[in-house]
A and B are shown apart, each in its own frame.
Chain A
Amino acid sequence: MSMLKSRTLKHVFVIGAVLALAACNQESGSSSSASSSTQSREIPEGPNLGVEVTHEDIAAWNIAVGPDGANLPPGGGSVAEGKELYLPHCSYCHGPNGEGGPADRLVGGIGSLDTDQPVKTVGSYWP
């Protein structure tokens, strides 16, 4: 059952954006491009005050971690070591075992998404 659900998650589909903004759908193969849009809309010229930054500068400044783990700092650890970190840093809001705290629960809900009581967690819902 849980396998089935995780497979279902891979079928997350895209609507709305495609309908409203067909011109930008990367799958449509349309010829719309940023440069042609730029030309057709007569964008006013600014005072060109942007300061050029290097990719090295950006790498140090860009601290966001991608959903696929991209941009994570180097390192690793075991589940047991993770628990030692979870308890002081996360459990206050998310509960000692990933549920029961005042903030979002993190575990459970697998198989619940097509029921009347869907429980959306890292395990059941997030891709």
Chain B
Amino acid sequence: MTKRKDLTKLSDDDLTPVAGGGLLHRRLFLTGSGLAAAAFAVPGRVRAEALEVPDTMTMVSPEPGFQGYGQPSSYEAGVARGPIAEKNALYIAGPGAVRSPIHALEGMVTPNGLHFEITHNGIPDINPDDHKLIIHGLVDRPLSFSVEALSRYPMVSRFYFVECAGNSGALAAPVAVRGNAQTLHGLVSCAEWTGVPLAVLLQEAGVKKEAKWFLAEGADPSSVTRSLPSEKAWDDAMIALYQNGERIRPSNGYPMRLLVPGFQGNTNVKWLRQIKLVDKPQQTRYETSRYSLLMKDGRAAQFKFPLDAKSVIVRPSPGVGMHGPGLYEISGIAWSGRGTVKKVEVSADGGQSWGEAALSGPVLPKAVTRFRMPWRWDGSPAVLQSRVTDETGYVQPTREKLIGDRGGKNFYHCNCITSWAVDAEGGLSHVYA
């Protein structure tokens, strides 16, 4: 009832911008009062072309027919991860990354085939019958678990984002890199993960009191290994077996991966083969030479696990421009490694004024949250930005503040505000503003 009451407050005044550059009230599209239609009303409306009944309605299409595992429409072939490395003479099969086409997706869930991937030395082809998870170290009983055994444990299902620590790292560059939402920010995805709480397995093994950390190791040829605080194991870590309802994809850790919600991507160790309880961090390669944060003075910060809140507008964005003045919906994604998204604000004038966007639920902790904002673009140049505030009160910083505070040598954990410049033709580009 409260919601309905709010809606009645909307009036023609709500077509008055709430912030500079033509940003409108976030509830405009929800009123059903005809206001949105009024906003859409354009003098000299375009006439439709002659309407024809298509062949697909009068004849049965032989293709694609039923498929054992369904594929997207052939017309969506352009929605793909990238870049895919060319297998030329210099090609190395091992390390690499492909980014999620976030500019082409909606809602909060990333389809499994479009989830971003990073490998440090290739994707192992693991037969689940041969795979084991061994829990040892400072425990009463070292234990081995087969995939089949873990599949019989009580499970939980949770929506969590996974984001690479290096996502958006290009924004640390001294000049604005040419790129789009996918190439700059596509190392984040969100899925429903189902698996066994790590705490259940640790309880079974009996963890000794001095085991303040645990070492998680993957079964890939680079043995990605990370030291993680045991507190996380007792909190919300899980051994994930399923991703969006099906078994985890090979590139995302088949047959099992560690899920440490909100922590930097690589700590969610894929192809998990061992959990070793230890008394202190083990200083592995992936927490020293990689994924440590080089500071201004040449020292490095380690073990910065939670990813700070970030948001980015994905539509419009470079390559996804506007077609003439009129009413548009700005759509974007926000997330925080420290909990839920509390608020997202949008600016169309480079951060001089802000309007609050609508959060398109569900709004879940450590998951991607979709935000939306109506915008009446008058055809003049603009600079679009978004900034998120999470449940801790943390506000996404400007680039100037983030880089000013810590210097530009470290491209990890780069969560500053992104600016898209809109030109008079409706094209967008990445800028520093």
Contact = CB atoms under 8 A, between A and B. Distances in A.
Interface of A: 5, 8-9, 11-18, 20-21, 23-26, 32-35, 37-38, 41, 43-55, 58, 61-64, 66-68, 93, 102-103, 113-114, 116, 118, 120, 122, 125-127
Given A50-B145, A103-B92, A120-B294, A26 B212 contact: yes
Given A21-B229, A46-B204, A26 B298 contact: no
A41 B230 contact: no
Contact of B304 (A9, A16, A38, A46): A16
B301 A113 contact: no
Interface stretch (B15-23, B274-282, B381-389, B422-430): B274-282
B197 A43 contact: yes
B297 interface: yes
B144 A50 contact: yes
Contacts, number: 166
Given A38-B207, A53-B134, 4 more contacts: A12-B292, A14-B281, A17-B304, A49-B153
Interface string B141-183: 1111110011011100000000000000000000000000000
30 contacts: A5-B298, A12-B288, A12-B299, A12-B302, A13-B301, A14-B303, A16-B304, A16-B306, A17-B303, A17-B304, A21-B232, A33-B209, A37-B231, A41-B199, A44-B200, A45-B200, A46-B201, A46-B203, A49-B149, A49-B153, A50-B143, A50-B201, A51-B143, A51-B146, A53-B142, A53-B144, A58-B142, A61-B134, A116-B408, A127-B288
Given A8-B299, A67-B285, A17 B305 contact: yes
Interface in B248-297: 274, 279-285, 288-289, 292, 294, 296-297
A67 B281 CA distance: 11
B114 interface: no
B201 A120 contact: no
B211 A34 contact: yes
Nearest to B413: A16
Interface of B: 90, 92, 95, 134-136, 141-146, 149-150, 152-154, 196-197, 199-205, 207-209, 211-213, 217, 223, 225, 229-232, 234, 274, 279-285, 288-289, 292, 294, 296-306, 338, 408-409
Contact of B409 (A13, A46, A48, A118): A118
Contacts of A122: 289
A116 B229 contact: no
B297 A114 contact: yes
Contacts of B274: 62
Contacts of A66: 282, 284
B134 A13 contact: no
B294 A118 contact: yes
Contact of A34 (B230, B280, B289): B230
A32 B231 contact: yes
Contact of A51 (B144, B208, B223): B144
Contacts of B408: 116
Contacts of A113: 294, 298
B100 to A, nearest CB: 25
Most chain A CB atoms below 10 A, which of B90, B208, B230, B285: B230
Contacts of B281: 14
Nearest to B285: A67
Given A50-B144, A103-B95, A126-B285, A13 B299 contact: yes
Interface centre among B154, B208, B232, B303 (most CB of A within 10 A): B303
B298 A50 contact: no
Contact of B279 (A26, A52, A68, A116): A26
A50 B202 contact: no
A126 B294 CA distance: 12
Contacts of A125: 288-289, 294, 300
Contacts of A118: 294, 298, 409
B303 A15 contact: yes
Contacts of A93: 92
Contacts of A41: 199, 234
Nearest to B137: A58
Contacts of B297: 114
B230 A24 contact: yes
B234 A34 contact: yes
B233 to A, nearest CB: 8
Contacts of B296: 114
B288 A49 contact: no
Contact of A53 (B143, B154, B204, B409): B143
A37 B197 CA distance: 14
Nearest to A102: B90
A102 to B, nearest CB: 5
Nearest to B205: A50
Nearest to A18: B303
B74 to A, nearest CB: 35
Contacts of B141: 50, 52
B224 to A, nearest CB: 10
Among B136, B153, B217, B231, chain A packs the most CB atoms within 10 A around the CB of: B231
